[in-house]
């Protein structure tokens, strides 16, 4: 019989980074946890010797694997209470330098894969009238940095999707939080970041400079992924979890600064904005 006293977690992208550290935390708490990777041998060590763990193969761009992973989770644990959409990666290029195949592949993983994964767990959450979906976005979901326009576009897409999902899910007991980290000390830049080989000299001081900084910054980021995982767990235990969780000082300063700047600009144009309506 499935354990009903502890939340059942399903975390995508557990081979490295946030997904792996979060999975360690939930498993160590004794909570039933499904850990996934495109090759489950890379996460087998997380669940070895644990009755509360299940490792499955999952590439979120593969619909059949999504269906099989959700079915396996429900067969072993009876349900999914918390879905963490963490799988994805980055691609850096100036907008003009972007390669069509790379852009579409990133959207397949970061956006369409996340959409499909969410759709797969919603029927169970809707039936039970409870559930919490955590979508790992980024400060790039609020800020389009030079060199990260296409990556930011994937995260902006997830933010808009999550707004709608939160409105639809609230009456059904389904909660949605977007987790927006800044720079964290994971191997994201080394393993989960691609950069275009195309370099246009005119973008050297904008996109080019940021790509160089990102590559050289790996291992020096101020964010602690274990503390980030603990923060994620904390909000799932809240009766009124936030729609947004921004993680790290750099993300807090960047996101709040951007939102204040945007609001000030919109309010400064109020007269022009309202003039676009038919006269009353």
Whether 151 is catalytic is yes
In the numeric block, the tokens 């000390």 are attached to 185
- With a cut of 50, list the residues of the chain below it in pLDDT: 1-2
pLDDT at 1: 34
186 class by beta-carbon count within 10 Å (0-12 exposed, 13-18 middle, 19+ buried): buried
Q: Which of 19, 58, 20, 51 is nearest to 36 (CA)?
A: 58
pTM of the model: 0.93
How far, CA to CA in Å, does 138 sit from each of 33, 98, 159, 222, 250? 24, 20, 10, 15, 11
What is residue 2's predicted lDDT score, i.e. its pLDDT?
47
233-259 CB burial, b ≥16 within 10 A, e <16:
bebbeeeebeeebbbbebbeebbeeee
Which pLDDT value is given to residue 217? 63
Contact (CB, 8 A) for 41 and 116? no
CATH of domain 9-274: 3.40.50.720
Q: Which of 91, 150, 151, 203 is catalytic?
A: 151
């Amino acid at each position: 019989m499935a354990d009903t006293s502890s939340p059942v977690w399903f975390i995508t992208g557990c081979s490295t980074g946030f997904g792996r550290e979060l999975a360690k935390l939930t498993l160590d708490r004794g909570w039933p946890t499904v850990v996934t990777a495109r090759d489950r041998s890379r996460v087998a060590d997380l669940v070895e010797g644990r009755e509360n763990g299940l490792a499955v193969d999952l590439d979120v761009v593969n619909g059949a694997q999504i269906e099989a992973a959700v079915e396996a989770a429900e067969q072993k644990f009876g349900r999914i209470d918390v879905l963490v959409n963490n799988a994805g990666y980055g691609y850096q290029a100036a907008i003009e330098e972007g390669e069509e195949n790379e852009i579409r592949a990133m959207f397949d993983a970061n956006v369409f894969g996340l959409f499909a994964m969410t759709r797969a767990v919603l029927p169970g959450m809707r039936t039970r009238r409870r559930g919490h979906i955590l979508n790992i976005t980024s400060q790039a979901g609020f800020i389009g940095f030079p060199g990260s326009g296409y990556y930011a576009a994937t995260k902006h897409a997830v933010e808009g999707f999550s707004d709608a999902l939160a409105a639809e899910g609230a009456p059904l007991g389904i909660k949605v939080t977007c987790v927006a980290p800044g720079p964290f000390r994971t191997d994201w830049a080394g393993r989960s970041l691609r950069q275009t080989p195309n370099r246009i000299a005119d973008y050297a001081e904008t996109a080019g400079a940021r790509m160089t900084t990102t590559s050289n910054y790996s291992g020096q980021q101020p964010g602690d992924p274990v503390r980030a995982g603990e923060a994620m767990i904390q909000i799932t235990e809240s009766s009124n979890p936030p729609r947004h969780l921004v993680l790290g000082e750099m993300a807090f300063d960047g996101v709040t600064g951007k939102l204040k700047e945007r609001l000030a600009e919109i309010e400064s144009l109020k007269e022009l904005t309202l003039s676009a309506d038919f006269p009353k």
